[in-house]
Copies of this chain bind each other. A is one copy, B any other.
Amino acid sequence: MKFNKELENIKSYEAGKPIELVVREYGIEPQNIIKLASNENPNGCSQKVQDGVAKIVSNMSLYPDDSMLKLKNALSKQYNIDESELIIGAGSDQIIEFIVHATCSAESKILMNSITFAMYQIYADHVGASTIRTTSVNHDLEQFYNLYAEHKPSIIFICTPNNPTGDAIKKDELYRFLKRVDSETLVVVDGAYMEYAIGKDSKYEVAPSQLIKEFENVIYLGTFSKAYGLGGMRIGYGISNAKIIKELYKIRPPFNITTLSLEAAALALEDIEFVEMSIKDCFKEMIRYEEFAKEMNLEFIESYTNFITLLLNSHNSSKIAQTLLSMGIIIRDLSSYNLNAIRITIGKSEQNSRLFNALRGILSK
């Protein structure tokens, strides 16, 4: 039996360690473990969403409404777009998968930032496409343009705010760049953390409706995993012109969103207060992280997200992550991104305090 040669080069995604794993590996009680590794919402998810989902658990036996009427309707209102401009995926990950599989092959090139969301590379590897990367840590759109002009890639991934670094691109700057890219290249604007960027500074807001009106070769990605607190339910979406959406739909597997996830996402859009509260809490705690970094003489990347990336010049990120793990604190080591840095999800106030104390102890040794 032969497997396709593309499989040889696929590396698996390195997920944030789940709490269960730390329980098993270190014998720490679950209630004593804090996970600040996967940028989950520390406020959990909206109580209204929880109540609504609990109410329909008897529907688990019914296949999902594959037209996704209720959720599509809610999302199209939220973003002032037509339903034909919308595709819903099992996380925005799945939209990335659709995009790469629909437009790329082993002959294709894909352009992305030096350090960015790992799934872009993984899906490129699925089809054997080559990837081109900038060299700067933050998105440098001049570098992007030069590489674009040189390689004419099939896809450009722009992640704003960027994961795992936290920096973002001003809308005006992004638009100037997009105007220089011709329509043969599909530009993916991944706004998984956009709600946080908007909460911090409206100059960073990229509104999908305007974006797709101005650029026919752009697709915007959003997710319910972050500000909406539904990371466990796997719901993301792509917004683009109807022609592109129609093509992506061709490779969407039927029933790609569970019955309970469809309900959860639709209800989540109704609870604006929960999202606003989550963003407000996040940036309130973010100040403490910035102050902590200054106190410890650590560089950090200014963050437009619900996490912060601390650069560790004289310390080793893997060692620090490992020591924290043994203390029951899960954060993300960025050494696999070739960055001697750690990414920490902004947690609840008491979780952050515990992290500060632990890190203070480790760094002063």
Contacts and interface: CB of A to CB of B under 8 A. Distances in A.
Interface string A156-193: 00000000000000000000000000011110000000
A287 interface: no
User: Copy number of this protein in the oligomer?
Assistant: 2
Contacts of A16: 63
Contact of A258 (B18, B93, B104, B232): B232
Interface residues of A, number: 78
Contact of A40 (B44, B49, B62, B247): B62
Interface string A258-284: 111100100000000000000000000
Contacts of A222: none
Contacts of A247: 3, 7
Interface stretch (A65-73, A138-146, A346-354): A65-73
A49 B57 CA distance: 9
Residue from A40, A103, A183, A251 having most chain B Cβ neighbours under 10 A: A251
Given A7-B251, A13-B254, A102-B7, A53 B63 contact: no
Given A18-B63, A91-B253, 7 more contacts: A13-B253, A50-B58, A60-B230, A60-B233, A61-B232, A234-B258, A258-B258
Interface of A: 1-4, 7, 10, 12-13, 15-16, 18-21, 24, 35, 38, 40-41, 43-45, 49-50, 53-54, 57-67, 69-70, 90-91, 93-94, 97, 101-105, 119, 126, 154, 183-186, 217, 225, 229-234, 244, 247, 249-251, 253-256, 258-261, 264
